[in-house]
Amino acid sequence: MTTVSGYYGKRFRDELEAAVAEAYADELGATEVTPRDGFGALGGHATAASRVADRVRRVTGAPVTARSVVEHDTVERVAAHLRSLAPVDSCVQLPAGAVPGAVNLFYFHSASGNAFAIRTLRKHLPVQLAGVRAAGLHGERDVPRTIDEFATIYLEQVLRVQPDGPYLLCGFSTGGTIAFEIACRLRRSGARVGLLAMFDSQPPDPAVLSRLGSEEDLKRGRLRELLRRVGDTSDAEVSPGDAGVVEALRRSHALAEEMDAETLERQLLVFARTLRADCLYEPGHYDGEVHYFAADTPVELVPAWRPHVGALHLHDIDAEHYEYAIFADQGFRTTFAALVDEALAGRTDAG
């Protein structure tokens, strides 16, 4: 089994790596930080280590110290240290310095299970950003099987973080579908939804059920995709427990050094169940406005959402089906920032 590391060379594997990298970038003035970058190599010093540790504590809840930042040095090794310390009871990830009860933009995960990509917009949006990662991603509970189950878990946590509206909700791919279901429930309860945005989410399509693979088929397909990305182009059947699979993914940085077959199996399960939940979902009706950003999704399929919403606004953008590509698009940033501004202004207008 041959591997190359280019695909995952600069990609974060979970919210902990993203949080550490964000702290390094902001506190050390770096324009770009990758998982392999070290605190010392970026010009870190004792005072900065204390600031980094404080930021990471506030984001992750882990009791990280300045000494551990200096000793572990690289983003990935500090994150590996955090994985044994950070609590996993909540799926909602708030930024450092989050204001209790403030309005948040809640960003729901796709089939990857992660929601930290929204942090790339933290300097472009005038609102507190909260990513919602997949329930069960860290083994803290069984992974849900339906959009209804995902929404039930997340809505309780959203209300705990922000008891009152307006609620600003968005999500990429399956995350947009989850955001839609939560918006429906909030409106039924009488809460105010200030914004609902979907980024390349699966339009309702009964025909998709005929193409829906089993959970095991989706897990195997996802594993083959991961291996292809790191240079293994063989057609041999593999499983997360096969000798060499985890090691190949570690060498290529697709998995962190301390991640094992159980971690990989859990990630594959999140992927499979999230995709199946999306395909099996039968949307109700949301009586508000939906802003749909179509990147890879053919625009002619988007109107399938129209019978399920009060109003549908289509924004066609030139990007691949990848959240980082969408968020990097200047047209998307300009349009989406304006929508967030309008939603926040609506709160003021409503008193």
**pLDDT digits over 235-275, tens only?**
777 888 887 899 889 888 888 888 899 999 999 999 999 99
Residue 44 confidence (pLDDT): 93
User: 328: part of which helix (H) or strand (E)?
Assistant: helix 323-328
Residue 87 has a CB neighbour count (10 Å cut-off) of: 10
Distance of alpha carbon 65 from alpha carbon 67, whole angstroms: 5
Residue 275 confidence (pLDDT): 95
Residue 66 confidence (pLDDT): 97
Model-wide pTM > 0.85? yes
Positions of the chain with pLDDT lower than 70, given as ranges: 1-6, 347-351
Residue 5 confidence (pLDDT): 44
Residue 26 near residue 275 (C-beta atoms within 8 A): no
Distance of alpha carbon 20 from alpha carbon 24, whole angstroms: 6
Distance of alpha carbon 290 from alpha carbon 267, whole angstroms: 30
Pairing of strands 128-132, 92-93: antiparallel
Query: Letter for the amino acid at 76?
Result: E
Residue 112 confidence (pLDDT): 95
Residue 6 confidence (pLDDT): 64
Ramachandran category for residue 238: left, alpha or beta (phi over 0 → left; psi -120 to 50 → alpha): beta
Residue 334 confidence (pLDDT): 96
Instruction: Report helix, strand or coil for 202.
Output: coil
To the nearest whole number, what is the mean pLDDT of the chain? 92
Q: How many residues does the chain have?
A: 351
Q: Which residues contact 318 (CB under 8 A, 6 or more apart)?
A: 295, 329, 331
Residue 16 confidence (pLDDT): 93
